[in-house]
Structure formats: structure tokens, C-alpha cells
Amino acid sequence: MDLFDLFGEKRIGELEAKLAETVAETEQKLTRTNAENEAKLRKVEAQMETEGKKREGEYAKRIESIDKRLEEMRTKYRLELKQSKEEYVKRELQTSIVTPVPSRLSILLVEDKEKHLESVVEVEAAGHKVDIARDYSHAIKKLNERAEAGTPYDIVLSDMMFSYGYGTSRNPPINGSKTTEEAALGYAVALYASQCGVKAVVIVTDMSHHAGPVAATFDNFLKKSSFSGDERVAFNVNGTTVVMYDCRDLGSGVEFSGGSKPWINAVKVLQKEGYGRSSYPAWYANDTGKNIQEESING
């Protein structure tokens, strides 16, 4: 073997040794890197798990807090509803003493229009005694006579608009030209009746509730009730219940221009609900009206 061959073999051996060393170092570095990466991954996973549990705990706390607030709100609203009902009942008892209305009544009807007197036969057919006054003065006279005799009317049914008339012994006549002029005297009749021992006054108008100021006032005495739907507000005036209806409240087909007022339905509302309530269900908003309407139709 010549010198050149010896030198070549030695060089190849050195290169192979160097390659083996490099491979070993690379494998070691790769192993260390993998170990470091795995350690980092485990650390990140641990952190994520810890963070996830932390967030899960926070969400659980938030959900628990929301549930607690909702329950507090439910409890609060239940209490408020209970208090509202108790206040409603208390107010009802404080403002009125509800007593039953007899099946046979002594009634004063204040009405000046013939067409609205036609339906009086229905009231009389139900067994009630009806006296008629066609103006304010006539109504006052009859109220006085019955009060002085110690037998006041049980109820007064009244129109809203009618004339003053020609005066009474207690009231000097007004200007003659004004005695036949219609005015909103139903209010005055109600107030006067409250001084004469009358248990209830029902004012019924056939005017559209948008026809003018007087008719429009009726809608100011309608309230929304969560217990009975819409109700006409009634007043307790000196122990007399005063309530105001227009014909739509009494299930009438009068429609403000034709036919006769449903006086019998007004009486039946009183008989069904009783004297002394602070409000009465409006006809079209309560089953009370439907029942009375059916009774009226069936006789």
C-alpha cells in the first residue's frame, strides 16, 4: 500500500468519526428539545386546565349570583303582588260595605225622553215599583216626599241631560226661559239623592262618549283592574253608591241613537254585585255582563 492510500483511509476514518459525533450531538439536542417541548406543553396544558377550572368556578359563581338575584326578584314580586291584593281587598272594605240588593225595589226613574221610558215595562215586569220624574224639580220633589215619609227610594235611575223644570217649594223658580233648557243635572240628582237615604244611584246616558264634554267625563271614571278587567268607578257619597254608565256598558243595542235605554240591565248589575262596591265591572269586559244580558234576553 502506498502512502497516498494510507492518507486517504485515515482521512475517511476522521470524517466518519466526526459524522458520528455530529449525529450523536444532534440526537442529544433533539432529545433535549423534545423533552423541553414536552415539558412546556405539559406546563401549558396544566396552566390551561388551571385557568379553565378558574373560569369554570367564576362562571359557576356568576350563574349562582344570577340565580340568587332572580329568586330575590321573584320573592319581591310575589310579595308585592300579595300586598297589592291585600291592599285591594282592604281598600274595598274601607271604601264600601257590600250588602245585597233586594229582589223587589222601589225605584225613581229620572228621564225626559219618551223613547227611553218605553223600556220601563221591563223593570216593572221584574217586580219593581217605578216612579217617573221628567225633570230635575220633579225628581227633587219625589225624593223629598219619600224621605219625609221615612220610605226613601231604594235606587234612582237617571239620565244625565234633562231640564230643570219649574222649581219646587224649597227652590225658587229660575229664569223662565231656562226651565226647559237641558243641562248635565244627573250629577245634581245623584248628590241630592245621597241626602235622602237612597242606597244607590245609576246614571245612564245614550250619548256617544265622544259627543261632548259631559259624555266624555264618563270615560274618566273607567279604571283598569288586574282582577276583574275594566271597571266603572263608583262613588260612596254619604253612604250612597253612585255609578255612571253609557249604553255600551249595559250591553244595549241602543247605539246612542235609537231604541230605549236598558234600565233593567242597570238594575241587574246592582243586584248581582251588591250595594256599596267601589267599582262595577263594565258590561263588555266581564262575564257578569254576559250573564245579565242572557238573563235579560231570556226574560
Domain ranges of the chain: 1-95, 101-297
Residue 202's pLDDT is 94
- Classify domain 101-297 at the CATH topology level: Rossmann fold (3.40.50)
In three-state secondary structure terms, 9 is helix
Residue 289's pLDDT is 41
Amino acid at 140: I
What DSSP state is assigned to residue 52?
Answer: H
Distance, in Å, from the CA atom of 55 to the CA atom of 188, rounded to the nearest integer, reads 74
Residue 136's pLDDT is 94
Give me the average pLDDT of each 10-residue run along the chain (299 residues).
62 78 83 84 82 79 85 86 72 66 95 92 95 95 96 96 76 63 92 96 79 77 65 85 83 60 90 82 48 37
- Rounded to two decimals, the pTM is 0.62
- Residue 154 near residue 106, CB atoms below 8 Å: yes
Nearest to 256 by CA among 221, 215, 218: 215
Residue 166's pLDDT is 79
Nearest to 99 by CA among 276, 296, 298: 276
Residue 145's pLDDT is 96
